[in-house]
């Protein structure tokens, strides 16, 4: 009897095993192309959505809702959380450990969840969120480029985060502050954020435009850091309930680095932001901004025109000013007089007279511009057009023999036209005065040292192919023949474990053709202007980005972060 039951059980187990084996083999056979294909097949089998986590931003704090041990043992990662509902990525919904952990989440933690299926690679990427990026880790394998005394202490005693916290508790003000600044400069950060919370201070660096968590400092370090910043930037030491700002400089070997500091009172104390004004960011070579060949030729052609206006649009931090500076750099010849009006002057350019406007003392863009035009310039750069008067004088300057460069705050290139009309520019003046409109965004470029090619799922490839098929064929772009792989990065010591290093622009450009001219006189709708610009061969910022991602310059995740959900444009 016992024997029989035993055999029966064995039999059932064997059958089940065999069935699973066959199923697995079928999956392997059918979808041997890539890990992503396998994940996609498993998802189909269980009627669950499949997601490639290389393509969407993963929020570390969400992943950390479940401990590293549980997540890795169960082969899962929490991707979204809305109220009591979680979206959990799993590799295998049938896995015993996975099911057990999910049961616990439901019963013990009282959370609802929905599942999606991801590949092993995707899970590993999500789990990277557990690797707290610490100052210590970021400094590994990097040569000392700072003044020795700034880092000696740090490198002597600190091997891990515990050491760092201990060290910070022991060392004096100057040392903590120097470690923070040294770290920021080493990681090529643009800003240092020091934010007090209830029982700790959060230290973050902005690297290539994105904030990175560095370390939580003990709350008692707060007072010393704040007084150090105040002292250095000549702020009032005894004032802590008012915003203050100032600047100071750091001597670094033979270089002087200027820092702009700002202090703002918050509910847990004063928070500090320090902007590092690095001279290195003056990479003003036009061919390094990331214009594709097609757009580069358009730009070169436009820059040769002696009159008319070139507008660069985009939100704050999209790199508009750098683009304008590189145009000025290109135009800067002994026989050409260039005057700029800026707020503030960000870089000093030799041979160009740069004027800083001060609206509070009456030197507005409009007033400055009136004076500039009387100085007989060939090229005028107006920092930003944001009021009707500046718009009017700029347009007049462009119509009367000057080349005018400026920026507008709009979301896309087509949006510049309704914006100008809104600033009371007559539609009949737009075509004669505007030569071209450029819109741009900045994306981070994949680290050359740790980027890797991988095969995404077929649905991802199909989407990319569809997007590319809708790019106007008269845009004279080189299109990829076939797409088999795209790129991602895992992070290495060279990129401070971020996976990216440096930034590049995404662009969309249209010139004022007859086609556009006609529509401006008939309609003020950005979407109609966009449609005409597409007819003329304009590729969008997102399309430009997707082509750059296929080339391996950046990742699809980054394109999505900066330009939003990837969608297929109408032809």
Report the nearest approach of Zn ion to the CB of residue 411 (Å). Answer: 32
Residue 212 Cβ, how far from Zn ion at the closest point, in Å?
14
Which residues, numbered 464-503, are part of the site for Zn ion (CB under 5 A)? 492, 494-495
C-beta closer to Zn ion: residue 137 or 165: 137
Nearer to Zn ion by C-beta: 159 or 449?
A: 449
Q: How many residues of this chain interact with Zn ion, rule: CB under 5 A? A: 6
Which residues in 421-521 belong to E strands, given as ranges?
434-446, 451-454, 486-489, 500-511
**In angstroms, what is the minimal distance from the CB of 444 to Zn ion?**
11
User: Is residue 88 involved in binding Zn ion (CB under 5 A)?
Assistant: no
**Stretch binding Zn ion (CB under 5 A), from 413-421, 440-448, 464-472, 524-532:** 440-448
Provide the minimum distance between the beta carbon of 497 and Zn ion in the complex, in angstroms, as a whole number.
7
DSSP letter assigned to residue 276: E
Integer Cα distance of 414 and 420 in angstroms: 11
Distance CA 270, CA 241 (A): 8
Confirm or reject binding of residue 207 to Zn ion (CB under 5 A): no
How far, in Å, CA of 169 to CA of 151, rounded?
17
- Alpha carbons 126 and 66: distance in angstroms, whole number: 12
**Whole-number minimum distance, CB 446 to Zn ion, in Å?**
8
Q: Which stretch binds Zn ion (CB under 5 A): 258-266, 303-311, 379-387, 439-447?
A: 439-447
Residue 446 near Zn ion by CB under 5 A: no
Q: Which residue is nearest to Zn ion (CB)?
A: 447
Whole-Å CA distances, 58 to 130, 204, 322:
12, 18, 30
CA dihedral 294, 300, 304, 305 (to 10 degrees): 40
Identity of the residue, 370 or 494, whose beta carbon is nearer to Zn ion in the bound complex? 494
Residue 318 Cβ vs Zn ion, minimum distance, rounded to whole Å: 24
Task: Give every CB contact of residue 41 below 8 A, 6+ residues apart in sequence.
Answer: 27, 30, 31
Contact 245, 261 (CB under 8 A): yes
Instruction: Report residue 32 as tokens.
Output: 């041997």
Q: How far is the CB of 496 from Zn ion (least distance, A)?
A: 8
Nearest distance in Å: CB 254, Zn ion: 28
d(CA 135, CA 207): 13
Q: Residue 116 or residue 447: which is nearer to Zn ion going by CB?
A: 447
Burial 42-72 (b: 16+ CB within 10 A, else e): bbeeeeeebbbbbbbebeeebbeebeeeebb
Closest distance to Zn ion from the beta carbon of 290 (Å): 19
Least Å distance between CB 455 and Zn ion? 21
Task: Determine if 447 is a binding residue for Zn ion (CB under 5 A).
Answer: yes
> Candidates 43-51, 85-93, 94-102, 447-455 — which segment interacts with Zn ion by CB under 5 A?
447-455
CA distance 89 to 80: 9
402 or 444: CB nearest Zn ion: 444
Q: Give 292 or 445: the residue with its C-beta nearer to Zn ion.
A: 445
Nearer to Zn ion, 113 or 497 (CB): 497
Q: Which of 373, 450, 509, 559 binds Zn ion (CB under 5 A)?
A: 450
> By C-beta, is 423 or 450 nearer to Zn ion?
450
Distance CA 300, CA 570 (A): 29
Residues 244-263 that bind Zn ion (CB under 5 A): none
Distance (Å) of CA 176 to CA 128, 164, 210: 28, 10, 23
Tally of residues, the chain: 571
The pair of structure tokens assigned to 301 is 């052609």
Instruction: Select 377 or 499, whichever has its Cβ closest to Zn ion.
Output: 499
Cα separation, 47 vs 35, in Å, equals 18
* CB of 147 or CB of 494, closer to Zn ion: 494
Per 3-state DSSP, what percentage of the chain is helix, strand, and coil (rounded to 5)?
Answer: 45, 25, 35
In this chain, which stretch among 27-35, 353-361, 443-451, 502-510 interacts with Zn ion, using CB under 5 A? 443-451
- Tell whether residue 449 is a contact of Zn ion (CB under 5 A): yes
Residues that bind Zn ion (CB under 5 A): 447, 449-450, 492, 494-495
């Amino acid at each position: 009897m016992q024997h029989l039951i035993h055999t029966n059980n064995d039999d059932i187990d064997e059958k089940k095993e065999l069935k699973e084996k066959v199923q697995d083999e079928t999956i392997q056979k059918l979808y041997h192309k890539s890990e992503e294909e396998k994940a996609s097949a498993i998802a189909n089998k269980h009627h669950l959505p499949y997601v490639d986590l290389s393509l969407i931003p993963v929020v570390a704090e969400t992943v950390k809702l479940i401990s590293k041990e549980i997540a890795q043992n169960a082969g899962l990662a929490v991707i979204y959380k809305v109220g009591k509902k979680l979206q959990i990525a799993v590799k295998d919904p049938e896995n015993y450990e996975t099911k057990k952990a999910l049961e616990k989440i439901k019963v013990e933690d009282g959370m609802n969840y929905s599942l999606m299926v991801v590949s092993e690679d995707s899970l590993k990427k999500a789990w990277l969120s557990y690797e707290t990026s610490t100052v210590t880790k970021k400094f590994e394998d990097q040569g000392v480029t700072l003044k020795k005394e700034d880092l000696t202490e740090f490198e002597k005693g600190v091997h891990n985060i515990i050491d760092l916290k201990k060290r910070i508790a022991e060392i004096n003000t100057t040392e903590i502050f120097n470690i923070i600044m040294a770290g920021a400069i080493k990681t090529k950060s643009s800003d240092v954020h020091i934010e007090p919370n209830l029982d700790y201070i959060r230290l973050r660096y902005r690297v290539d435009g994105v904030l990175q968590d560095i370390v939580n400092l003990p709350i008692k370090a707060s007072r010393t850091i704040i007084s150090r910043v105040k002292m250095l930037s000549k702020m009032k030491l005894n004032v802590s309930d008012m915003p203050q700002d100032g600047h100071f400089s750091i001597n670094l070997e033979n270089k002087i680095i200027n820092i702009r500091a700002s202090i703002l009172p918050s509910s847990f104390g004063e928070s500090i932001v320090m902007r590092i004004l690095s001279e290195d960011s003056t990479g003003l070579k036009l061919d390094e901004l990331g214009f594709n060949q097609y757009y580069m030729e358009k730009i070169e052609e436009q820059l040769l025109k002696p009159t008319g206006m070139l507008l660069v649009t985009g939100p704050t931090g999209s790199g508009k000013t750098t683009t304008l500076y590189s145009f000025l750099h290109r135009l800067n010849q002994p026989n050409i007089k260039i005057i700029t009006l800026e707020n503030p002057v960000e870089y000093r350019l030799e041979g160009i007279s740069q004027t800083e406007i001060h609206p509070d003392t009456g030197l507005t863009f409009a007033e400055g511009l009136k004076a500039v035009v009387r100085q007989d310039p060939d090229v005028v750069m107006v920092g930003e057009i944001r009021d009707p008067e500046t718009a009017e004088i700029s347009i007049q300057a462009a119509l009367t023999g000057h080349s005018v460069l400026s920026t507008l705050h709009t979301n896309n290139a087509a949006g510049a036209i309704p914006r100008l009309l809104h600033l009371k520019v007559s539609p009949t003046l737009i075509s004669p005065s505007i030569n071209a409109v450029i819109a741009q965004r900045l994306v981070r470029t994949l680290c050359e040292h740790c980027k890797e090619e991988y095969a995404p799922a077929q649905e991802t490839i199909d989407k990319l192919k569809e997007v590319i098929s809708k790019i106007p064929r008269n845009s004279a772009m080189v299109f990829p023949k076939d797409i088999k792989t795209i790129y991602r990065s895992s992070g290495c010591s060279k990129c401070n474990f971020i996976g990216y290093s440096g930034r590049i622009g995404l662009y969309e450009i249209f010139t004022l053709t007859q086609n556009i001219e006609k529509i401006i006189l008939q309609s003020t709708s950005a979407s109609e202007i966009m449609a005409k610009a597409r007819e003329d061969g304009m590729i969008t910022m997102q399309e430009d980005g997707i082509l750059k991602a296929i080339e391996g310059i950046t990742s699809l995740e980054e394109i999505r972060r900066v330009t939003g959900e990837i969608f297929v444009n109408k032809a």
